[in-house]
Amino acid sequence: MDPVTVDQVMIPLEQYPTISEDSLLFESVMALEKAHCNERGPSYKYRALLVTDGAGRVIGKLDHISVLHALEPEFQDIGDISMLTRHGLGPSFVRNITRDFDLLQKPLDDICKKAGKLTVRKIMHIPAKSEYIGQGATLNEGIHQLVLGRHQSLLVENGDRVVGVLRLSDVYHYILEVMQKCDIT
């Protein structure tokens, strides 16, 4: 049996929802909702948009957490608070930091103003190298990368161009289908 490759499970770029880096936060939220509601078939709903530059090249991702981060811009200045819990500092310490720095207190204030001013370029997630995988890589390699990085998806590349997305939910669905064929008695 030939090994399953990433490109056999990924969603091709043409089928994945995209948005321009120049779009506004409001437009991106509406596009994300439309993509989430319009998906058909047995696969899971879209929970992100790929962000493209003027040449149509994928330069980032916009997901729900990116939108929530945009509502509290002061949070960006503090850095990755989740790193504190990974280094042994408890949740109460993190809560004190967010309170002392007045973070996440009023993210919904002026939401319409923020939605009409912020561009996707300013709030998108720029993937790290660990969030890319080659199109011909084995699915085993993809699973390894998803698990070790705790990623929800990987951008699939052919050379230096993104050609698709390998989502954790699609990998899980593939594994489910394989397991359903097992004869365990």
Q: Tell me which residue has tokens 């890589």.
A: 137
Side-chain-side CA neighbours of 163 within 13 Å: the count stands at 14
CATH number at residue 28: 3.10.580.10
Q: Is residue 56 part of a domain?
A: yes
Instruction: Look at residue 46 and tell me if it is in a domain.
Output: yes
Q: Per-residue confidence of the chain (185 residues) as pLDDT tens digits?
A: 679 999 999 999 999 999 999 999 889 888 888 887 776 555 567 889 999 999 999 999 999 888 888 877 655 544 555 555 566 666 676 666 666 655 555 556 677 777 788 899 998 999 999 999 999 999 999 999 999 999 999 999 999 999 999 999 999 999 999 999 998 87
Question: What domain range includes position 39?
Answer: 6-71+107-180
Judge whether 131 lies within some domain: yes
Q: Tell whether 133 is covered by a domain.
A: yes
Q: Are 162 and 153 in contact (CB under 8 A)?
A: no
In a domain, 94, yes or no: no
Whether residue 77 is contained in a domain is answered as no
Strands 161-167 and 11-12: antiparallel
The answer to whether position 64 is within a domain reads yes
- Please tell me the total count of domains within the chain: 1
